[in-house]
Amino acid sequence: MSNKLLISMLLILLTTTLSADQEEAQEMFKEADCMSCHNDEDFQPKMRTKKNFKELHDSVQACQQANDAEWFDDETKDVAKYLNKKYYKFEEKE
């Protein structure tokens, strides 16, 4: 198998996995009824209080704990990544 084909296959697999994580995170956000406290306006640039991805992640984690959403740490991070991709566009530093 050529290197180009192998790399292409790996990129397709990675893209599919990332897309599945985003869809799952979106569903978790919806099921946790986050929008009962928030609305789309909360995520608009003029209303944002978060300055970076870490602050966004910490905020999602605080909401998750306050609302007893039974998410694992990686799921909380996936929800933060979902919100970041949809609204914030912060650089995601580990």
Retrieve residue 92's tokens.
């995601």
The pLDDT score that the predictor gives to residue 77 is: 94
Q: Is the pLDDT of residue 75 over 60?
A: yes
Q: What are 13-59's pLDDT values in tens digits?
A: 555 444 558 889 999 999 898 888 888 888 888 888 899 999 999 99
- Please state the domain extents for the chain: 20-88
Q: Are 58 and 69 in contact (CB under 8 A)?
A: no
The pLDDT score that the predictor gives to residue 41 is: 87
Report d(CA 11, CA 33) in Å as an integer.
33
